[in-house]
A and B are shown apart, each in its own frame.
Chain A
Amino acid sequence: MLTLQCPYCGVWAEETELHAEGEAHLKRFGPGSSDDEFEGYLFMRENPKGVHFERWRHSNGCGKFFHAARCTMTLQVFGTYSAQTLEPPQDIKDKISAVQPNWSWREFS
């Protein structure tokens, strides 16, 4: 079972206290965007075997959304961080690089 630390209330919450909310760092393409961009925003999701960035919500707790970086293969959790960001913070990236030096995920590496 996954145990993640909510960056807002500091609680080490196990999976049943949280709700998975899909992929992190999606860029919204709305009115005025091309069909390809809109399709990508709506439907195209990463499904990696390896490093992944996810959005979670501490639904049975403080109710806040946050981001988590983890590996889908080893189930290692690299860390959780605030949702008020457009890209993973450097310290999370460093933690991933220490374990998997050649990782990449979308435009991040």
Chain B
Amino acid sequence: MSKAVSALNGASFEGFVKVEETGLRGMITVRGDLDGAEMSAAVKAATGAQMPAQRKVVSGDKGVVAWMSPDELLVVVDYAEVLETVATLTTALASSHALVANVSDARAVYHVSGEGSRDVLAKLAPVDFGKDAFGAGDIRRSRFAQVPAAVWGNEDGSFEVICFRSVAQYVFDLLKVSAARGGEVGFH
């Protein structure tokens, strides 16, 4: 099998904040009845995490689970373990109406870290990135300039931005322009 590479192969940019493409990341879309007992058991088995509440991200010992919509979750694990996790989820959800799809190679992920990260994101998305409105463990699906993207807050104050792989370069360029020195806002 050919060697898997991420969209921008770990490109990074250092402006007044740091923007890095995180490289390969296992991502699984799970759709189904999120209130069902089977779903929470499946998520627990696959990641060790509890079912996230609306617009929340929860980490477990094996991965991270993000709430994407009332019937959709995103499960994030190591790239090497993604097939195993898909198998675990598929087995656990076998008797309910659900979808488990490996979308690892269809997405790109960016890590935005440093003082002023909130300003960098706020320039691109119509979202309130104030500390009270959006913090660690929150996820928000929105648009970055002209393309859909999702962003969540990490415990250390950094952010992860997920977009479609087809627009990976576009989103990286956006983040670069937004994070370029001389563009500091100092609002958040």
CB-defined interface of A1-22 with B at 8 Å, one 1/0 digit per residue? Answer: 0000000111101101100000
The DSSP consensus for interface residues of chain B is strand
Given A8-B70, A11-B55, A62 and B141 touching (CB < 8 A)? yes
CA distance A61 to B143 in the complex (A): 8
B68 contacts across to A, CB distance below 8 A: 62
B69 adjacent to A9 (CB under 8 Å): yes
A64 at the A/B interface (Cβ < 8 Å)? yes
The size bracket of the interface on B is: 10 to 19
Partner of B69, one of A16, A17, A60, A63: A63
Chain A hits for B69, CB < 8 A: 8-9, 61-64
**Contact indicator per residue, chain B 150-166, by CB within 8 Å of chain A (1) or not (0):** 00000000000000000
B residues contacting A by CB (< 8 A) are: 54-55, 68-70, 72, 126, 140-143, 148
Interface residue tally of chain A, by bracket?
A: 10 to 19
**Mostly helix, strand, loop or mixed at chain A's interface?**
loop
